[in-house]
Amino acid sequence: MKFTLITLFPDEIKSSITFGVLGRAIKNNIIEIDYVSLRDFSDNEYQSIDDKPYGGGPGMLIQAKPLIKAINKIRAERHNQIPVIFLTPQGKLFEQKIAEDYSQLNELIIVSGRYEGFDERVYDLVENSTEVSIGNYVISGGEVATAVIIDAITRLLPNALGDINSAKQDSFTDGLLDYPHYTRPEEIQGLKVPKVLLSGNHKAINEWRIKQSIGKTYEKRPDLIEKRNLTTKEKKILDEYLEDNKQ
């Protein structure tokens, strides 16, 4: 899969994606990343691409013209319908399902925001584009958010992870949190690994993991339970979990 990143600070993104899963994915040609400097599309000798907002107010805005010019050039060199992600606070929340949808693509353009954001007209003038946010908080720029999105998508690509089942078991893949994990030693300061995990009974272990996944999601992220609409069987499992953990 090919990611083309339009950014003012390519080195900031590079420093976040050269290790671990992403580093191996790049080395193994599972993903390809092109960096496009927005300043290269400035129409002035100072290479500035921002200006004061009409109507006054603090901060600067990224201008529409250089951004549109950059996107059009990328599309002209490949094909005109490469999807574009604009990283903005007003975008739809980036979730696992969205990562799964994007992982089915061959190419994606991601535009990192800065300053007070983009001239609003870019959203209307760039076809096949989507505004995306990684959360309800403010960070200094979209470069960190870009790295998050690339990571989430890459994990879902064939051969990106050492174990093909790893991504399937991640939190949020089925709308629930992952079940608890334990490793050696069996006891730490009086806290022991649940006996079922030491039993060797794979059926019982799987049932325990399902129950824990549903129960922990209910406790820690009830919003996910509401969105999921539990089946009758899952509701019964949740009731069993609550009964097991009744204080």
Of 100, 116, 178, 240, which residue is the catalytic one? 116
DSSP string of 195-208, one letter each residue: GGGGS--HHHHHHH
Helix and strand totals (H; E) in the chain:
9, 9
CATH number of the domain bearing residue 84: 3.40.1280.10
- Are 143 and 214 in the same domain? no
- Cα torsion angle, 51, 142, 120, 106, sign: positive
Q: What are the CA-CA distances from residue 191 to residues 182, 184, 200 (Å)?
A: 11, 12, 20
pLDDT value of position 16: 87
Residues 137 and 213 in one domain: no
Q: Which of 50, 119, 143, 155 is catalytic?
A: 155
Say if residue 185 is preceded by a cis peptide, omega within 30 of 0. yes
Please give the Cα distance from 148 to 223 (Å, whole number).
22
- The predicted-structure confidence for 201-220, as pLDDT tens digits, reads as follows 999 999 999 999 999 999 99
d(CA 62, CA 67): 8
Q: Is 155 a catalytic residue?
A: yes
Residue 164 located in a structural domain: no
Residue 173 pLDDT level (bands cut at 50, 70, 90):
low
Map residue 104 onto helix, strand or coil: coil
Q: What is the tally of structural domains in the chain? A: 2
Answer yes or no: are the C-beta atoms of 150 and 33 closer than 8 Å: yes
The question of whether 89 is a catalytic residue gets the answer yes
Q: Tell me, yes or no, whether 163 lies in a domain.
A: no
Say if 165 falls within a structural domain. no
Indicate whether 169 pLDDT > 60: no
Record the tokens describing residue 99, joined without a space: 């990562």
Residue 9 DSSP label = -
Task: Answer yes or no: do 99 and 33 share one domain.
Answer: yes
User: In terms of domains, do 146 and 181 share one?
Assistant: no
Is there a catalytic annotation at residue 158?
no
Range 68-82 average pLDDT = 94
Cα(178)–Cα(183) distance, integer angstroms: 16
207 and 101 co-located in one domain: no
Domain around 111: 2-154
Let me know whether 123 and 184 are in one domain. Answer: no
Average pLDDT over residues 191-196: 96
Q: Which of 33-37, 114-118, 133-137, 172-176 is the least confident region?
A: 172-176
**Mean pLDDT computed over every residue of the chain:** 93
Tell me the three state secondary structure of residue 143: helix
131 assigned to active site: no
Pair of tokens at residue 227 = 């969105």
Annotated active-site residue in 151, 170, 207, 240: 170
CATH of the domain at 215: 1.10.1270.20
Provide the pLDDT for residue 46. 85
Q: What is the pLDDT of residue 62?
A: 94
Of 89, 95, 180, 228, catalytic:
89
134 lies in the same domain as 215: no
